[in-house]
Each structure stands twice: as structure tokens, then as C-alpha cells.
């Protein structure tokens, strides 16, 4: 499948998805959302895919937010629909069954910070800048920024960022638990590839169940403890569990099949 605003690189099952509108600092217009939706739909359940890296094209930005030039004509009804669509597509990323890592290589503002937060975790390159500047525009985050920012850094720090519209640099994002690593420019993608390749050596069903259960922690209607016991039981019936335990006892490398 071809995408208007995404570049796709498939490196032995590790997919790098690059949002590609560098002249607009990779701002998320409607077509970028359509492309992201189709892209994650296409790869979900594909056994050859080990994981997805999300990054931005060009030297300056990961993604500089929702496309402000598309805001003209928004009213209450259209605004709610725009927000709901963005939230749903970012949820699709969060619920992807393989690891999704954001490599933040510049500005991650507004919807860009929200896209990075929808990924399972984030690697910042040294020039990364994070922020939710929506109050400067007289609006609020619409793609779950008020929710996910609090999860990562806690209420006080999140509210300060949301209310002041200040940007934080990569080292501050690391201190605030928004990112897992800060690396020199150009080292983010190799690091993400290495992490995904490592996870790909583990049992695929155990990996996808773990992602689901950790996501469930944040759902008010999900009983995560019950979900974990139920999934644990289900996994005990898999061939991979038997293979993993046998390989440990026999002192050999496990050969997982995703069954």
C-alpha cells in the first residue's frame, strides 16, 4: 500500500513509519491520520512484522502538531468529530499487538506530543522538544494529551506544561519519565531497531498479551488483575509456553512459533 504522507521502510520485519510533510514540520492533517490508520490496520496481525518505529521526516520536527491550517471552519460538532477521530487512530497505535516506539527527532508539539505518547515508549534524540501549546491557540489538546501526559509525568508537571504551553527539552523529558532514552542525533532509530529485534526473540503471544494488559491498567472499566490471571491461564495452554519452559530446563535457546 502507498501512503501520501508516510514513508515506509521494512528492515527484516521492523517497520519504520516516517511522517513526511517536512515543509509543514510534519503537521497532522486529515490525510496523515488516514495514512496512519491504514498503515496500522495493514500491519496488525501480520506475523512477519516485529514492531513499528514512528518518526518524522527532515531535520527539525517529529510532528509539530495538528495542522492548524485545517482548523478554519471548525465548530462544536466538527471539532468533537475531529478530536474523536484522532483519539481513535492514536488508540489503534496504542493497542497495536507488537511494540511501537516513537523516535522523537525534533519538535513534538500538540498532536505530535500526543502521537509520541500513543506509542508504547519513546526515544528522544538530543534536539527533541516536547510541549502542548494548545492554550496559545485558544484551544485544548484533542488527541488525548490531557489524559496521557498525566499518566507519564503526574498531575503537577502535566498541568504546568498544559497551562503554560512551555516546551521541555529531551533531558527534562527523561527526568519527567516521558522518554526512556536520550541519544545523539541519528542514534534513535538504530536503538529502537535493537530493542524491537530483542523483543522479537520472545514468545509473540506473551508479548501481545503483555501490551494489552499494561494498556488495561489505564482503563477505568478493566479489571487488570482478573485480566492478567485469565491471560496467564490462556498462555499456559500455548506451545510457546511449553517450549520456553523446556528450553530453560534443557539449557538451550527457545524456538518460539507464536502458537
Quote the crossing angle between the two packed helices 111-118 and 76-94, to the nearest 10°: 30
Shortest Å, Cβ 217 to ligand CAA: 24
Give the Cα separation of 18 and 80 in Å (integer): 27
> If binding is defined by CB under 6 A, does position 110 make contact with ligand CAA?
yes
Q: Pull the grid cell for residue 120.
A: 508504547
Q: Are 60 and 26 in contact (CB under 8 A)?
A: no
Closest CB to ligand CAA among 71 and 232?
Answer: 71
Q: The dihedral of CA 187, 103, 44, 242: what is its sign?
A: positive
Q: Are 134 and 78 in contact (CB under 8 A)?
A: no
Q: Are 141 and 110 in contact (CB under 8 A)?
A: yes
Closest CB to ligand CAA among 64 and 196?
Answer: 64
Residue 164 host element (H or E) = helix 155-164
Closest CB to ligand CAA among 38 and 87?
Answer: 87
- Among candidate residues 17, 14, 10, 39, the one with its CA nearest the CA of residue 199: 14
Closest CB to ligand CAA among 49 and 118?
Answer: 118
Shortest Å, Cβ 111 to ligand CAA: 3
Shortest Å, Cβ 171 to ligand CAA: 19
Among 51, 56, 99, 111, binds ligand CAA (CB under 6 A): 111
Question: Per-residue x/- mask for ligand CAA, residues 56 to 75, rule CB under 6 A?
Answer: --------xxxxxx------
Question: Per-residue x/- mask for ligand CAA, residues 112 to 151, rule CB under 6 A?
Answer: --x------------------xx--x---xxx-x------
Shortest Å, Cβ 40 to ligand CAA: 19
Among 90, 96, 107, 256, binds ligand CAA (CB under 6 A): 107
Give the Cα separation of 26 and 55 in Å (integer): 10
Closest CB to ligand CAA among 80 and 201?
Answer: 80
> With contacts defined by CB under 6 A, how many residues of the chain interact with ligand CAA?
22
Give the Cα separation of 46 and 10 in Å (integer): 13
Give the Cα separation of 88 and 233 in Å (integer): 30
Give the Cα separation of 92 and 85 in Å (integer): 11
Catalytic positions, written as ranges: 114, 134
Question: Per-residue x/- mask for ligand CAA, residues 1 to 40, rule CB under 6 A?
Answer: -----------------------xx-x-------------
Residue numbers at the binding site for ligand CAA (CB under 6 A)? 24-25, 27, 64-69, 86, 107, 109-111, 114, 133-134, 137, 141-143, 145
Amino acid at each position: 500500500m502507498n501512503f501520501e504522507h508516510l514513508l515506509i521502510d521494512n528492515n527484516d520485519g521492523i517497520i519504520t513509519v516516517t511522517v513526511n510533510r517536512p515543509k509543514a514540520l510534519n503537521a497532522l492533517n486529515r490525510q496523515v491520520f488516514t495514512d496512519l490508520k491504514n498503515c496500522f490496520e495493514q500491519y496488525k496481525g501480520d506475523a512477519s512484522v516485529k514492531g513499528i518505529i514512528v518518526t518524522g521526516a527532515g531535520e527539525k520536527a517529529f510532528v509539530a502538531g495538528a495542522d492548524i491550517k485545517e482548523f478554519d471552519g471548525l465548530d462544536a460538532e466538527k471539532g468533537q468529530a475531529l478530536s474523536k477521530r484522532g483519539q481513535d487512530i492514536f488508540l489503534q497505535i496504542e493497542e497495536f499487538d507488537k511494540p511501537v516506539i516513537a523516535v522523537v527527532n525534533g519538535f513534538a508539539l500538540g498532536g505530535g506530543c500526543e502521537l509520541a505518547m500513543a506509542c508504547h515508549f519513546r526515544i528522544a534524540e538530543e534536539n527533541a522538544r516536547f510541549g502542548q501549546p494548545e492554550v496559545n491557540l485558544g484551544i485544548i489538546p484533542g488527541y488525548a494529551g490531557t489524559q496521557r501526559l498525566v499518566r507519564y509525568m503526574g498531575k503537577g508537571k502535566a498541568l504546568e506544561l498544559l497551562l503554560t504551553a512551555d516546551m521541555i527539552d529531551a533531558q527534562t523529558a527523561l527526568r519527567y519519565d516521558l522518554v526512556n532514552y536520550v541519544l545523539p542525533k541519528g542514534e534513535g532509530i538504530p536503538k529502537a531497531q535493537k530493542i524491537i529485534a530483542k523483543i522479537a526473540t520472545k514468545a509473540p503471544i506473551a508479548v501481545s498479551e503483555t501490551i494489552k494488559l499494561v494498556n488495561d491498567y489505564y482503563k477505568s472499566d478493566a479489571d487488570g488483575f482478573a485480566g492478567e490471571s485469565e491471560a496467564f491461564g490462556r498462555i499456559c495452554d500455548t506451545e510457546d509456553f511449553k517450549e520456553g519452559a523446556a528450553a530453560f530446563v534443557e539449557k538451550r535457546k527457545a524456538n518460539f512459533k507464536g502458537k
